[in-house]
């Protein structure tokens, strides 16, 4: 449930919680230290307060459409309560896509996030093999109010936004040949950190006893977040 005062900035992320009991939506992630877990999608505000959350129940191909992936549909469910309120939402490349940003913009929600260069409707010349960049280079493409950019640090960083003006293209390095981070990325890094604030609050009030009820896990995680 949202606060009585709607926050201006929000972020969405997926959270993995340790859980060994047998349920059909339990995840097995062998590369994680705590490999048996459940996945939760959460929407946070600036204070780290959880505005809404949705449990991942397994691959849902029925919710996907030609325009939206299943992850995008999940995000639309999480943001349905803030439609038309002019909120700004930050996300990582698991969710970001041009079609999702266009859909959120129609509901008066501005978006910013890192993005995978091979997403549908991304600029065709944005692959690492098409643009030969050196450290500090910024490349920008725009479509209406939507901006896609590449910033080259040690490797390429791809960003998609419709809440910022397009930055100037070129090479931006200081006298020590250290690349200067674009303002879009600085703001993204600042706001996407709401996830950390929420995790710290969750860890501070963990349950002592073990439980096999997934409903209790959903609201009161008995072990630390991964």
Three-class SS of residue 225? Answer: strand
Identify each DSSP E strand in the chain by its residue range: 9-18, 27-28, 36-45, 50-55, 88-91, 110-114, 137-143, 146-152, 156-161, 170-171
Among 135, 95, 110, 114, CA closest to 185: 114
Helix (H) or strand (E) holding 206: none
User: In angstroms, rounded to a whole number, what is the distance separating the alpha carbons of residues 9 and 194?
Assistant: 10
Provide the residue ranges of all domains of the chain, joining segments of one domain with +: 1-89+194-226, 93-191
Backbone φ and ψ of 91, nearest 5°: -150, 165
User: In angstroms, rounded to a whole number, what is the distance separating the alpha carbons of residues 79 and 208?
Assistant: 33
What is the C-alpha R_g of the chain?
Answer: 19
pTM beyond 0.95? no
What is the model's pLDDT at position 161?
94
- pLDDT per residue, tens digit, the chain (226 aa), is 454 456 688 999 888 777 766 776 676 667 766 676 778 888 888 887 888 888 877 665 445 566 677 778 888 889 988 888 889 999 999 899 999 999 999 999 999 999 998 888 888 887 666 667 788 888 899 998 999 999 988 888 999 999 988 888 887 776 666 778 888 898 898 888 766 666 666 665 555 455 566 666 666 655 444 4
């Amino acid at each position: 449930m949202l606060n009585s005062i709607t926050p201006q900035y929000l972020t969405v992320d997926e959270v993995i919680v340790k859980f060994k009991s047998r349920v059909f939506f339990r995840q097995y992630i062998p590369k994680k230290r705590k490999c048996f877990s459940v996945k939760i999608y959460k929407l946070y505000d600036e204070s780290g307060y959880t505005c809404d959350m949705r449990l991942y129940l397994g691959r849902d191909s029925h919710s996907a459409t030609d325009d939206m992936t299943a992850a995008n549909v999940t995000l639309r469910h999480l943001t349905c309560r803030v439609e038309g309120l002019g909120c700004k939402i930050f996300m990582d490349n698991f969710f970001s896509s041009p079609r999702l940003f266009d859909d959120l913009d129609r509901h008066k929600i501005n978006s910013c996030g890192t993005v995978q260069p091979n997403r549908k409707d991304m600029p065709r010349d944005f692959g690492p093999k098409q643009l030969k960049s050196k450290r500090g280079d910024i490349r920008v493409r725009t479509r209406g109010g939507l901006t896609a950019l590449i910033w080259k640090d040690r490797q390429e960083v791809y960003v998609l936004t419709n809440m910022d003006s397009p930055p100037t293209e070129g090479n931006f390095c200081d006298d020590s040949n250290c690349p200067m981070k674009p303002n879009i990325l600085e703001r993204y890094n600042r706001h996407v950190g709401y996830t950390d604030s929420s995790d710290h609050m969750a860890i501070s009030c963990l349950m002592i006893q073990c439980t096999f009820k997934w409903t209790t896990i959903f609201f009161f995680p008995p072990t630390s977040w991964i």
